Amino acid sequence: MKKLILLPAFAILLTLAGFKFQNSQPINIAVAANLKVAMDSIISVYKSAFPDEKIQATYGSSGNFYEQITNGAPFDIFYSADMNYPNKLRDNKIAISPVKLYAIGRLALWSKKIDPNTQQLNSILDASIKKIAIANPATAPYGARSVESLKFYKVYDKIKSKLVYGDNIAQTAQFVSFGAADIGIIALSEMLSPKMKKEGGKYFIIP
């Protein structure tokens, strides 16, 4: 089984440079969906220095990647949105490197329909809100943290029938930006991406 390397995002250039001299095959990277904008940029910088190198980045939910890697998916590097998954891979000797923290994520309540700053998290209780998008808590760390937040602020039981689930945090952002949901809990990094900024929605960062 292929062994993974787990490193912080800013170190990816050095990591990939190491692969350059060891591996004639494409470098396969599994990346949590919320990191797409940053990772695309990092890979672009690397490829400008090494234009002949082939890098394949696959974006999705960390939980699904964990299952795929456990079952032998040929990824060289894994960037997870939750340290539990790479820690388990390391404990099971599927990864050969230490697990390193590359960022700390934040949750944001985002909507084009209402301004979440007015009532903050209680915005999801507004009568006009019919569907609330979050990432699937079973496979996406941002989804699991969203449910934790909703329960902590004692609103989960009041709105759970309105929840719609994205496979990952990027799809969740699409649901709310395309109008399939009235409001959504997404990653702050996703909300700050150029694509989401163009949508003109408003947001509240969940404490």
> Above 60 in pLDDT, residue 5?
no
Cite the beta strand spans of 64-137 per DSSP E: 77-79, 107-111, 132-135
User: What pLDDT digit, counting tens, does each position of 161-173 carry?
Assistant: 999 999 888 899 8
User: What pLDDT digit, counting tens, does each position of 145-201 carry?
Assistant: 999 999 999 999 999 999 999 988 889 988 998 889 999 999 888 888 888 778 888
User: What pLDDT digit, counting tens, does each position of 63-102 carry?
Assistant: 899 999 999 999 999 999 888 899 999 999 998 888 888 8
Mean pLDDT comparison of 10-19, 46-55, 69-78, highest-scoring range: 69-78
> Above 80 in pLDDT, residue 9?
no
| Angle of the 62-70 helix axis to the 84-91 helix axis, nearest 10 | 10
User: What pLDDT digit, counting tens, does each position of 112-133 carry?
Assistant: 999 998 888 899 999 899 999 9
Contact between 83 and 99 under an 8 Å Cβ cutoff? The reply is yes
**pTM (predicted TM-score):** 0.72
Q: Decide the pairing of beta strands 202-205 and 107-111.
A: antiparallel
Q: What is the dihedral of CA 131, 133, 134, 137, to 10 degrees?
A: 60
Per-residue CA distances from 205 to 113, 182, 196 (Å):
17, 17, 15
Determine the Cα–Cα distance for residues 47 and 19; give it in Å rounded to an integer. Answer: 13
